[in-house]
Structures are given as structure tokens and as C-alpha cells.
Amino acid sequence: MSFPPIHRVVTGHDANGKAVFVSNGPLTAVHSVESVPGMIFHEVWEVWGTPPVVGNTEDPTLVPLKHTARKNGVLLRFFDFPPDESYLSDDKVPARMKHLFDEVRNPEGLTTKPDSPHPMMHRSEAIDYGIVIEGEIILLLDDSEVHLKPGSVVVQRGTNHAWANRSGKPCRMLYVQIDGQYDPAIAALLAPK
């Protein structure tokens, strides 16, 4: 099963200040990662700082894939998760996870340890809003998990986590990621010992 393509409409202004459609069609940046077949990043839009410049800038998604929003930025993307069984069933899983986080330019985000509940444990210094659009998925934290279905919304506040798709079918989520900075007390707890 595959999901339909994302339809994106982008507005702007013409030379007289009249509101116009700049684009109306498929996304210009859809990335399938090599390390995990079926894992797809659908880049909708990104602002590279806040407050964002509201103007007629070029399409900000036409850049190399990156897991996290840029410094002080906001990233909007859809994300397709293949079933775990499709990529976690052999002895190459640790190398595959390292390759995945290298592909998405976030090797420091991978936090998996021998006792981790999932081989894709990771964290980002950000606030993420994750909304399940289709399918089901499990959100795993260090010591617990929750089952999510369409309409479930997660407010991820820089915590160590993984997404486990145990349903046997793909899952599509929508993410809004806002670059952030840990509270100093949390940063001290997370610092390497």
C-alpha cells in the first residue's frame, strides 16, 4: 500500500502586490532514504528563522534532506514509515540505523544503546508536533510506549524516542518541527557523563 502524493499550494504576491498562486501541484522535494526502503520524507515548507520573512522567496525545500529544522527555523513535512518488520529483521540493523542518520544529516541525533527499546532511538533539540494521518504507530520513550491512530497528536519536547510501526502496513504522519534550546536544567541531565 502506498499513499497518494501530497498536493501543495503556495501563495505569494505579484509585482503590484496582488495575491497570486506561486505553485499548485505536487511537492518539489520528496526523499526516499536508501537505508530504509519505504521511509519517505515529503518536504512541504521550511522557514530558516523566526520571525520568518514573508515574501516571494524561492522554494526552501530544494535543499539536501536534513532531519532537523535549521537554527531558529520551522520545518513542515509528511513522513511515511514502513512496517518495522521490513527493515529490522536482520543482523544489519545497527549499521542501517547509522546509515539512516548519516543520510538525514543528523548522526549526533541517534541515541541507541544496547538496552534501548528500539534501534532507532533518537532526539532533537526541538519541539515537534506529530499528527497521525493514516495507519498506526507506536511512540516509544525510554521506559514506556503509547499506541497512536489517525487523529492522534504528539507534542514531542526534545525527548529520546523512536517510532515503531508494528501494524504490518505503512503509516503516514505530518510533522511541524520548531528548532529549540533545552532548558539548562534539562541540558545538564542530558549531557554525556
pTM of this structure: 0.95
Q: For domain 28-190, say whether CATH 2.60.120.10 is its number.
A: yes
Q: Over the range 111-132, which residues count as b (16 or more CB within 10 Å of their CB) and which as e?
A: bbeeeebbbbbbbbebbbebbb
- The CA distance from 143 to 18, in Å, is 53
Residue 155 and residue 147 in contact, taking contact as beta carbons nearer than 8 Å: no
Domain residue spans of the chain: 28-190
Task: Report the Cα–Cα distance between both ends of the chain, in Å, rounded.
Answer: 44
Q: What pLDDT is recorded for position 73?
A: 97
- The CA distance from 11 to 111, in Å, is 39
User: Rounded to 5 degrees, what are φ and ψ at 5?
Assistant: -65, 155
User: Rounded to 5 degrees, what are φ and ψ at 188?
Assistant: -65, -40
Q: Give mean pLDDT, residues 166-170.
A: 97
High-pLDDT (> 70) share of the chain, %: 99
Please determine, for residue 1, whether its predicted confidence score (pLDDT) is greater than 80: no
Kindly state the cell numbers that stand for 154. 504528539
pLDDT band at 24 (very low <50, low <70, confident <90, very high): very high
- Convert the pLDDT of each residue in 94-145 to its tens digit: 999 999 999 999 999 999 999 999 999 999 999 999 999 999 999 999 999 9
Residue 80 and residue 40 in contact, taking contact as beta carbons nearer than 8 Å: yes
Q: Give mean pLDDT, residues 159-177.
A: 98
Q: What pLDDT is recorded for position 81?
A: 98
pLDDT band at 89 (very low <50, low <70, confident <90, very high): confident
- The CA distance from 122 to 100, in Å, is 12
